[in-house]
Amino acid sequence: MALLFFTFFYAWNLYNPLWNLPIAKQSVSILDTNKKIIHKFLTDDGYLRFIPDLDNLDPGFVQMLLAYEDKNFFNHYGVDFLSIGRALIQNIQNNKIVSGASTITMQTVRLLEPGPRTVWKKLIECIKAFNLEIAYNKNTILQTYLTLTPYGGNLQGIRAASLIYFGKEPTHLNLAEAALLVALPQSPETLRPDRFPKQALNARNHVLKIMADKGVINQIQALEAMDQPVPVKQQLNNNIIPHLAYLLRKKYPNQSVIESYIDQNLQNSLLDLAYTKQSFLEPDTTIAMIVAENKTGNIKAYIGSSDYQNNNFFGANDMVQAIRSPGSTLKPFIYALAFDNFLIHPETIMDDIPMRFGGYAPKNFDHQFFGEITARQALQFSRNIPAVALLAKLGSSQLITLFKKAGADLILPKGEMLAGLPIALGGIGANLQNLVQLYLTLAHQGLYIPLAYSTLDSSQYSERLIGEMASWYTTKILEETPLPSNQIDPLYINNPKSLAFKTGTSYGFRDAWTIGYNQHYTVGVWVGRPSGSFSPERLGLKDAAPLFFEVFDRLPKDYKSIEIKDNKPVQALDISNSDLPNNLQHFYLDTKSSLISTAKNDMLKIIYPIDQTVIQLKKDKEIMENLVLQTTGGKLPLMWFANGHLITTSFRRQIEWKPDSAGALSVTVMDQAGQSNSINIWLQP
């Protein structure tokens, strides 16, 4: 008989090997830098399921489970004949099924091959349990059981249940928690504590009583555990990086566990910041942020939008990856390349005057012209004309090559084959990730290191894209960029945080940017509408810059105790304009090229109003509207006179002045060098 049984078993094993049965896959999980789950995906069949690590499983739970389900688990070969005999006697005595006598191995078979509970099915389970014991060791069988055990709803396995019901890994469980996790699989849908807390409490206490009766725990421990409540709601373990999680899952489709570099505390803090600030913005406006560690390129925080669930502004759209116009955020790299090519020095004089570049006539954002200014001031005040003039000297291809080497995928406007001068002012497509990568290169003294989102991205690759001298010059200039302020003249406010940063605003006020860095972190902030619609008065300095500084205030404090050193390169010249070599004192355009200046560099001239013209000014309650006065050339500051009386001294080349009355008006302007220019006009209300 025994020979017949083993012959049958061998034949079954030959044609129906259990180890060929598909083992359920676990849910994909994204971990933070401390290896804690910060995002989880359901499996393809809709379950939340994780494979537990038996070495890190609470030993008290395992002891309680075996005592309740299968005390001889480590001694039998899949079927416990003594338990079957005892169960058969109990069922006959009670005239109903009191005990099924299924071992953990048999239950594992049932979880792998669910089906109707029949006598024949039970026999098949016994045979396959033998088969399973031959194919796998005890720990693997127990691990499979604890992976597939149902815990209500779409929860499968001890890890998923512990994470959702208790908000923690099942590494350290108290007696009440362990007993509940033993009880739930008995009837997972009717004992769910989040839906049926009373039934769950009774079932848990029943397990505790049995454990006390069996001597696994003592009576006092059981009573103390019974006094504890059951969790009445699920611990959601918020998915705090939804946009990055989908990005990583798409990038690594075959990985079930992805270890990111996200700092969970920082991520939560910036999520709160973005969510709070978004409520003060215009309708349908959202915020994106990214924080990179300079030393490694590791991404410590990633905010794709201020509210992933908000459909009003397409919150599920990842605005870190969205292609937008970068505005003026690319200007620092034009200057860095110019420094590298010895075209200019930070103290080189440049001309901020009306110019044409072939058929291209760019304007400054404020429609004003400063005349002669240093390269340092031109970048700090984000003047458009000097930046375009520099790019014309360099050639757009140099800038594009730099971007490509830094891994930045810049998108040309539709129909354009080659990049032209408008890219200096944002006439190209980029995303927040691209820009942070570029600024990280500046922060790293001109060395390119790739951004890394997870341990799978790690790379030691580095390449010098910008010289140390050029990087140092650019950083020093950006550190002195005027801060957002309500004071009368913010041009002279210094940056107290030693943060090198640049703001940007795209055409039509659609995108507001601020990207910058210190010696430890690089941060990028974007504010706008995912739809790309026009937003009146949205400015990088007004909307994105304050957020940028708040992000730095929330960064880990440990780096702030480190002494910041100025690693000035030996070849860098920190001198005034008069001490520069002649070829670096003034940046002149090539007169043989198609670059045409509409005014001589050394001539002070009033360009509006035009001499001998009649100007009509509206009148409201006997008060005339402002008269706009604009000059070109000369050396700042400028003194303005009306009919021989000083009206103001200004460091700007355009002012507004309110005349006292209509009639003839003589206007004179005088610069610091003593040059003057006058016009005569007639004011008519």
Among all residues, which ones are annotated catalytic? 69, 328
3 state SS of 2:
helix
Report whether 515 contacts 435 (CB < 8 A): yes
Beta-strand runs (E) in 280-391:
286-293, 299-303, 349-352, 355-357, 371-374
Distance CA 456, CA 257 (A): 11
3 state SS of 510:
coil
State which H helix or E strand residue 29 sits in.
strand 29-31
Beta bridge partners of 427: none
Task: Select from 595, 223, 180 the least CA-distant residue to 385.
Answer: 595
Report whether 348 contacts 584 (CB < 8 A): yes
Distance CA 368, CA 634 (A): 14
Distance CA 297, CA 72 (A): 53
What token pair was written down for 244?
């990055």
Amino acid at residue number 683: L
State which H helix or E strand residue 649 sits in.
strand 645-650
Report whether 584 contacts 344 (CB < 8 A): yes
CA angle 347, 352, 358 (to 5 degrees): 120
3 state SS of 159:
helix
Over its C-alpha atoms, the chain yields an Rg (Å, rounded) of 36
Distance CA 187, CA 684 (A): 91
Beta bridge partners of 29: 40, 257
CB burial of 555-572 (b: ≥16 within 10 Å; e: otherwise) equals beeeeeeeeeeeeeeeeb
